[in-house]
Structure 1
Amino acid sequence: MKPTLTNNHPILKHHTNDEKKIWFEKYVNPLLISQEYDLIIDEPIPGLFLFPFFNENFCKEIIQLAEELNQWEVDRHDNYPTTDILLEKLDLKHIYDETIQNFVTPMLVAKYNLQGRSWYQMDHENFIIKYSDTAQKHLSLHHDNSALTINLCLNNEFEGGGTYFPKFKKLLRLDKIGYAMVHPGNITHFHGARPIESGNRYIIVSFLKTQ
């Protein structure tokens, strides 16, 4: 029998408008909410931005939630599968979508000079990935099936890993918990996940797709 989630996780209390407001205040990094983009965002390689997204409590709680559910899939994607769980299985898709819509999309529009209504109506495929020294250690070089991709660092208790961009000859090893990077998905930023040497690496990936 597959495990089910209990309702006693604070991270799952977000269904009313008041609860959503409390949830944002509790988990979203206030630096992102401030919209002081030029002060809080770095661009280590062209077209890739690093930004504060969530706080450490969110990252810790969602890892605990995923491991409690323990319904990792290994074959959702045909070409470059990851060991992952969709956030809808954690009852977090809608609040995560709203977080992107409310706090990240305005940043993307500003930093990429995006034009048109479709950027405010993107579909989001959100999933938590687990890289492990005893299971899936890496992901081969690839493009994403997205217009833009967000990669959120959830922990730093691992050795190795990181995202490599061969065009720029750059390895980005996000180890600041709650920080994320965003880059174009399916054209310019060919990339892959370097192998884990020890421990477990957890990230949340969001494929943002225009309609």
Structure 2
Amino acid sequence: MIFRGLWNVPFITNAYLVNASLLRSYDSTKLTFSLPNVDADMAFCYSLRDLDIFMYVSNRVDFGHLINYETYEVTRAEPDMYQIFENEQAWEEAFIHPQYHENFNPEANPKQPCPDVYWFPIVTRKFTKALINMMESFGKWSSGKNEDTRLEGGYEAVPTRDIHMNQVGWERHWLYFLQKYVRPLQEHVFTGYYHNPPRSLMNFVVRYRPDEQPSLRPHHDSSTYTINIALNEAGKDYEGGGCRFLRYNCSVVDTQVGWMLMHPGRLTHFHEGLLVTKGTRYIMIAFVDP
């Protein structure tokens, strides 16, 4: 249980909200941050008490959160994206889609654009823009050729122009994302399949462009199930694109930013990436439980 209130306290450290005009009305020689053998916080609070100025702690309003500077990496292109462990509540508020929890509403049927293909709102536009920026700032897109030194065997059967999560130091964060936000959706729609935690060795962002790699030939994924998150907007950022499931002659082309497609990987869902005719299309892919 969380109690909301306002408390009079004798000592405050780290964070202050101070009315400067009030402090200016007191003798500056008596209001000090420096006392012998006392740190600055203790000296300041001692001075306030000596002047009969009351200090308060309040949690009636959420003003924000404190950053742990030991883990906040300002050298990263998007340091907030890496705070999923240290500031989880703030991370979720910023990056998880506001309709995510509605996915589990028993009165709402999951969107199913093709047989056994499910569609969920999962992340915000802030997340998708940040992930694109992380990848473009890193900039080392693969060649799109079969030879790939990033893989254990050095060979990719169905290559794409991509950057892996571990290349930008976000593999551990992504696996936690799979565990907390993707796995419950998988268990919700693929009833009876349970794997906790989910395993995923291939986690990457793909870039499709007419002058690079505009499409992807038909293939099966090396996964039990695959997720595909749209990172930018069809019809605005690019034209064409989408995913076609050949067995069902069913295509998903009207993708929505921050929504995730989930479908079986092997055997049943032979699919292809449709041609991007203009602009740049970005998608986030994970092959789960290979």
Is TM > 0.5 for Structure 1 vs Structure 2? yes
Q: Distance in 1 between matches of 2:286 and 2:98?
A: 20
Higher relative contact order (CA 8 A, sep 6+): 1
The equivalent of 1:129 in structure 2 is 206
Shift of 1:132: 0.4
Q: Distance in 2 between matches of 1:166 and 1:78?
A: 22
Letter matched to residue 174 of structure 2: Y
The equivalent of 1:120 in structure 2 is 196
Contact 1:146/1:208 (<8 A) preserved:
yes
Identity of aligned residues (%): 26
The equivalent of 2:167 in structure 1 is 89
Structure with more of its chain in strand, by fraction? 1
Letter matched to residue 121 of structure 1: P
Partner of 2:141, secondary structure, is coil
Structure 1 unmatched ranges of 5 or more: none
Shift of 1:149: 0.2
Contact 1:47/1:183 (<8 A) preserved:
yes
Among 31, 44, 54, the alignment partner of 2:123 is 54
Among 164, 181, 187, the alignment partner of 1:109 is 187
Shift of 1:93: 1.7
Post-superposition Cα deviations, 1:107-130, rounded to whole Å, max 9, x if no partner, equal 2112111244xx113212210000
The equivalent of 1:204 in structure 2 is 284
Contact 1:28/1:53 (<8 A) preserved:
yes
Post-superposition Cα deviations, 1:61-87, rounded to whole Å, max 9, x if no partner, equal 111111111011134452110000011
Matched, 1:191 2:191: no
Mapping for residues 61-72 of structure 1, pairs under 5 Å: 61-72=130-141
TM-score normalised by L of structure 1: 0.88
Contact 1:131/1:196 (<8 A) preserved:
yes
Letter matched to residue 134 of structure 1: D
Q: Distance in 2 between matches of 1:34 and 1:191?
A: 28
Q: Structure 2 vs 1, CA of residues 8 and 135 (structure 1 numbering), >3 Å: closer, same or farther?
A: closer
Post-superposition Cα deviations, 1:26-84, rounded to whole Å, max 9, x if no partner, equal 10113223552553720121211000010001101111111111011134452110000
The structure whose Rg is larger is: 2
Q: Structure 2 vs 1, CA of residues 134 and 28 (structure 1 numbering), >3 Å: closer, same or farther?
A: same
Post-superposition Cα deviations, 1:144-203, rounded to whole Å, max 9, x if no partner, equal 000000000000210111101111111111431000100000111000001110000000
Shift of 1:8: 5.7
Query: Does 71-80 or 167-176 show the bigger shift?
Result: 71-80
Structure with more of its chain in helix, by fraction? 1
Among 252, 255, 267, the alignment partner of 1:175 is 255
Q: Aligned Cα RMSD in Å?
A: 1.9
TM-score normalised by L of structure 2: 0.65
Query: Does 53-62 or 167-176 show the bigger shift?
Result: 167-176
Q: Distance in 2 between matches of 1:110 and 1:87?
A: 26
Contact 2:210/2:277 (<8 A) preserved:
yes
Letter matched to residue 118 of structure 2: F
Kindly tell me the number of residue pairs found equivalent between the two proteins.
203
Contact 1:11/1:58 (<8 A) preserved:
no
Structure 2 unmatched ranges of 5 or more: 1-73, 149-154
Q: Structure 1 segments of 4 or more deviating over 3 A?
A: 10-13
Mapping for residues 69-80 of structure 1, pairs under 5 Å: 69-73=138-142, 74-75=144-145, 76=148, 78-80=156-158
